[in-house]
Amino acid sequence: MEAAWLRRTGQLVCFYCFHGFEAAVGTRVPLVTRGRLGGKVCQHFAHPPGHAPLGGHSPETVWHITTKHTLAAWATSRPGVDRVRLEQWTPDHDRRADVEALLQDGTKVALEAQRQLMTDDGWRSRHRDYARQGIVDVWFWRPRGHFPHIVLDEGLPVWF
């Protein structure tokens, strides 16, 4: 569980809820500690009982969340970009882009930060889902990581 420290209030809140993951942006869920020293589960921060989103948050690596926010900040600074949002579902709710950028001409761009190795079939399925909905998908791979070579077969650039 990632935490956000709100300096003005001195509160430790759920990073994901505060930044709009499975909750409205700005949602403040004060965290509690769970686990115990030497116990079966190590100490960690968690939502109080009954305050977690249905199914909880999916854990993300520091690289992934940092990359998403870096991509969002970069996209926001680009000319011709109307809106940038994190974790946006496609219209059919089959895919959720790490970062969605809406261009002034109406083009939707999905920026995907991919850390884990994907199979060619897995990437192709996601790529085709985006294309079917008129969304341009751009993939950013973790440095020194592996990427599916089908990306090259499709004639797309590989960004690290």
pLDDT at 94: 85
pLDDT at 5: 63
pLDDT at 23: 77
pLDDT averaged per 10 residues in sequence order, the chain, 160 residues? 64 80 81 79 82 74 84 95 91 90 97 87 92 94 78 77
pLDDT at 136: 95
* Bridge partners (DSSP) listed for residue 159: 140
Rounded to 5 degrees, φ, ψ at 3 are -125, 150
**CA angle (91 as vertex; 126, 21 as ends), nearest 5:** 80
Q: How far is CA 93 from CA 52, 56, 87, 105, 130, in A?
A: 21, 18, 12, 23, 11
pLDDT at 34: 83
